[in-house]
Amino acid sequence: MLQVTDLKVNYGMIQAIKGISFTVEDGEIVTLIGANGAGKTTTMHAISGLLKPASGSIMLDGTELTKVAPHKIVGLGLAQVPEGRRVFAQQTVEENLSLGSYARKDKEGIGADLENVYDLFPRLKERRGQLAGTLSGGEQQMLAMGRALMAKPKILLMDEPSMGLSPLLVSEIFHIIEEINRKGTTVLLVEQNAKRALAIASRAYVLETGTITLSGTGQELAEDERVQKAYLGG
């Protein structure tokens, strides 16, 4: 589904991503774990077009994303839940969701997906007329996820969905990620909460200061001594 090859991204004068390669296959949950500043968000932004890579290739089902205009990427079936949620605070919940389907033209499909999102997040339905800025952090995270689902993506990129949430909400968010995946959406997940991420991931990569240092199945990495020491507090 997604194939990243020798990706290099500069952030100002700094080379933030120093040539990484990884793949995400159909139906998988793949996670990139790593410390703050390892380059996780930079990688996500390069894939979704918000940052232009210095070199390398990002292929989505045979399309070279580095050659596609940033706003056209979502139409190819790749949506992102950005770090910090970035919901449109001055617009209502429903307006945010409708912006999620901005690139789509199939009116009926959009209506059906709106109902699906409301089924997945009943809280959003209750607050459909409320301004997104008045929602709690957890609700904003759900809105950001719902908004991305409204694009009907083949692959969903999620950047730190658990950040700043209470443990209870974190569990809820991770359950929802699994459910989204079960319904057929491939997921690329970036997390600082390595324990949780590895627990649901089919495969995982460890990113350290712009390079991938380890990879394996979620379980393999969760049992890896180096990973336990560095990221799992063991």
Partner 1 sequence: MGFLSYLINGLGLGSVYAIIALGYTMVYGIAKMLNFAHGDVIMVGAYVAFFALNTYKLPTVPAVLLAVLVCTVLGVVVEKLAYKPLRQATSLAVLITAIGVSYFLQNGAQLLWSSSPKVFPALVGNGSLTLGSLSVSYVTLITIATCILVMIGLTLFVNRTKTGRAMRACSEDKGAATLMGINVNQIISVTFAIGSGLAAIAAVLLCASYPQVFPTLGSMPGIKAFTAAVFGGIGSIPGAFLGGLLLGVIEIFAKAYISTQLSDAIVFAVLIVVLLIKPTGLLGRKLSEKV
* Residue 20 lies near partner 1 (rule: CB under 8 A): no
**128 neighbors 93 (Cβ within 8 angstroms):** yes
**CB-based contacts of 41: which residues, under 8 Å, 6+ apart?**
83, 159, 160, 190
**207 neighbors 43 (Cβ within 8 angstroms):** yes
* Residue 142 lies near partner 1 (rule: CB under 8 A): no
* Residue 84 lies near partner 1 (rule: CB under 8 A): yes
* Residue 99 lies near partner 1 (rule: CB under 8 A): yes
Per CB under 8 A, the list member of 57, 98, 202, 209 interacting with partner 1 is 98
* Residue 89 lies near partner 1 (rule: CB under 8 A): yes
Q: Encode 68-98 in three state secondary structure.
A: CCHHHCHHHCEEEECCCCCCCCCCEHHHHHH
Q: Which stretch binds partner 1 (CB under 8 A): 52-60, 74-82, 200-208, 213-221?
A: 74-82
- The least distance separating partner 1 from the CB of residue 216, rounded to whole angstroms, comes to 30
Per CB under 8 A, the list member of 19, 56, 75, 216 interacting with partner 1 is 75
Per CB under 8 A, the list member of 52, 102, 178, 217 interacting with partner 1 is 102
**CB-based contacts of 194: which residues, under 8 Å, 6+ apart?**
33, 227, 231, 232
- The least distance separating partner 1 from the CB of residue 53, rounded to whole angstroms, comes to 16
- What burial class does residue 207 get, using C-beta atoms within 10 Å of its C-beta: 0-12 exposed, 13-18 middle, 19+ buried? buried
The footprint of partner 1 on this chain (CB under 8 A) covers a number of residues equal to 33
**85 neighbors 144 (Cβ within 8 angstroms):** yes
Per CB under 8 A, the list member of 29, 33, 60, 147 interacting with partner 1 is 147
**Residue 192 or residue 213: which is nearer to partner 1 going by CB?**
192
> What is the secondary structure of 172-185 as a DSSP string?
HHHHHHHHHHHTT-
Sign of CA dihedral 150, 30, 174, 42: negative
**Residue 73 or residue 227: which is nearer to partner 1 going by CB?**
73
Which residues sit at the interface with partner 1, rule CB under 8 A?
48-50, 69-75, 79-80, 82, 84, 86-91, 95, 98-100, 102-103, 133, 137, 140, 147-148, 151, 164
